[in-house]
Structure 1
């Protein structure tokens, strides 16, 4: 199901382009900079999760827990704004 005719058209164009290039339909191409940015953000999220996990094995103060959870939310929020968009040739 598509949100509208424009989305349906973009999906058709994507399928036609990948088919013409001999690529499987589920291939996604991203630039090195986009991939590096995604990997950086995922690393930040992983570190924030590890910090929370470590803190939970200790007896954290309320302030320590709030700071660690705030860092985690901040890391997640940056990923929340990531959208892969199609580029036209």
Structure 2
């Protein structure tokens, strides 16, 4: 057994992540905000909304192309763009 496999599993990847979690918990302490809430600034919320809109548009484009029987290359390009936008949308900055 390797030393890193002994004991409790790490909850945080590094000390700075543990510190950010502590700061988050203390910020919401005594409020009605749930401890596991994700708090976004107005700019972050707008950016997330914009990324979701682009993702929906790409999905609609792919759906339209499928219904219009687009060629495989076009469908592949649209699917690749949809995947790229989905990966970008899932990241919180």
TM-score (norm 1): 0.71
Q: 2:22 aligns with which of 12, 21, 29?
A: 12
Give the SS at the match of 1:41.
helix
| Corresponding residue for residue 68 of structure 2 | 58
- Structure 2 unaligned segments of length 5 or more: list them: 1-10
- Structure 1 unaligned segments of length 5 or more: list them: 85-89
Q: Which moved more, 1:27-36 or 1:69-78?
A: 69-78
Classify 1:74/1:27 alpha carbon distance in 2 versus 1 (closer, same or farther; 3 Å).
closer
Give the SS at the match of 1:51.
helix
| Corresponding residue for residue 83 of structure 1 | 92
| Corresponding residue for residue 25 of structure 1 | 35
User: How many angstroms apart in 2 are the aligned matches of 1:3 and 1:63?
Assistant: 41
